[in-house]
Homo-oligomer: A and B are copies of this chain.
Amino acid sequence: MSLLVVGSTAFDTVETPHGKAVDCLGGSSTYFGLAARLFAPVRLVSVVGADFPPAHRQLLESRGVDLAGLEQKPGKTFRWHGRYSADMNSRDTLDVQLNTFGDFRPMVPAAYRDTPFVFLANGSPSTQRSVLEQMARPKFCVADTMDLWIERERDGLLDLLRRIDGLIVNDGEVKQLTGKTNLIQAGRACLQLGPKLVIVKKGEHGCFVFSNFFHYALPAYPTEAVVDPTGAGDSFAGGFMGYLATSDSVSLWNMKRAVAYGTVTASLTVEGFGVERIAAADRNVVERRFHELQQFVSGS
C-alpha cells in the first residue's frame, strides 16, 4: 500500500505572536508528507527552484518521503510571507511569489501511477484533475481546495468533485461552496456534489465528518502551546491519509481512527515554527496523543 501527494513546496516566512521564522521549509506537500510518513512511505510530486538546498531533500528523504516526483527547475522556489493575528485564528498574506510553482504542470512518474491512495493538495482544480487523469484508478482520492477556487474556478471544482472520493475543506469554504449558512446543511449538501466523504476542518474546534452512512464530530487535541498554525490542515490530511493507507480497509471504523490521527498530527505541527515539530515527531508521540485525545472525547 502507498500514498501520493501532489502539492506545493515552499519557503515560508511566518510571523506569529510567538516570534518570526524566515524562509523555512513549507508547502502543502511538505506538511502532508512529514505527517503521512509517520504511518506509511509517501510519494511526493511537486516543484522547486534551483535554490532548494540538499539539506531539505535530505530531511524529507530521511523521513521516508520519496522525491522521485519532485521536479527541480531553474529559477526560484515558491515563497510565502504571512502574519497571524493575536489569537492566531486568521492570517494576512504579506507577500507571495509563485516562482516555479506559478506554471506547475505536475508530471506523475510512471512508477507512481498505480498509487492507491492519492491526496490532491490545494491547487487549481484543473491542475488537480490533470493529476487524477495520470493515475490508474486510485482506491481512494481526496482533494483539498480553498475560497479562491470556489470563487474563480467553480465549474472546474464541481467537475473534480464528481471524480474524487473525499474532500477536505474548512467551515467557511463548505458554506461558500454550497450556499448554506448552517454547517450541518452545508456538509450534507456537499455530499450531493460527488464525494463520499466530506471532512470540514474547524481549526481549534476540531472537525466534522460527513458521509452517506454516518456523520461524526471530533474536537481538536487540547494543545496549550500553539506557536505557528501554518500547515495544520495539510498535516491533518497527511495523518488522515497516512493511517488510511495502512489500514486494511476504508471502513467506518478506520475512517474515524484516521480522522483522529489527522487531528493528532495537526496538533504536533502547530506547536513549532514551520515543520520543525512534525519533522521531529515519531510514532510514539503520535500514539500517546492519540490515546490522550480518545480520553479527552470519551463519554465514559
Interface residues of A (CB under 8 A from B): 17, 86-87, 181-185, 188, 202, 204-206, 208, 214-219, 222-226, 253, 256-257, 260, 294-300
Contact = CB atoms under 8 A, between A and B. Distances in A.
A188 B222 CA distance: 11
Nearest to A223: B184
Question: Which are the 5 A-B pairs with shortest beta-carbon distances?
Answer: A217-B219, A205-B205, A184-B222, A184-B224, A185-B224
Contact of A219 (B219, B226, B295, B296): B219
Contacts of A296: 215-217
Contacts of A205: 202, 205-206
Contacts of A181: 17, 86-87
Contacts of A188: 224
B299 A224 contact: no
A87 B216 CA distance: 22
B216 A204 contact: no
Given A224-B185, A226-B182, A253 B300 contact: yes
A40 B87 CA distance: 41
Given A202-B205, A205-B202, A297 B184 contact: no
Contact of A182 (B182, B185, B224): B224
Nearest to A257: B299
Contacts of A206: 205, 217, 219
Contacts of A218: 219, 297, 299
A204 B226 CA distance: 22
A225 B183 CA distance: 10
A35 B57 CA distance: 59
Contacts of A208: 219, 222
A85 to B, nearest CB: 11
A297 to B, nearest CB: 6
A194 to B, nearest CB: 21
Given A181-B86, A184-B222, A184-B224, A217 B297 contact: yes
A32 B253 CA distance: 38
Given A188-B224, A205-B205, A256-B299, 18 more contacts: A87-B181, A182-B223, A183-B204, A184-B223, A185-B224, A202-B205, A205-B206, A206-B219, A208-B222, A215-B222, A216-B296, A218-B299, A219-B219, A257-B299, A260-B299, A294-B299, A297-B297, A298-B299
Contacts of A223: 182, 184
A139 to B, nearest CB: 23
A263 to B, nearest CB: 11
Nearest to A259: B299
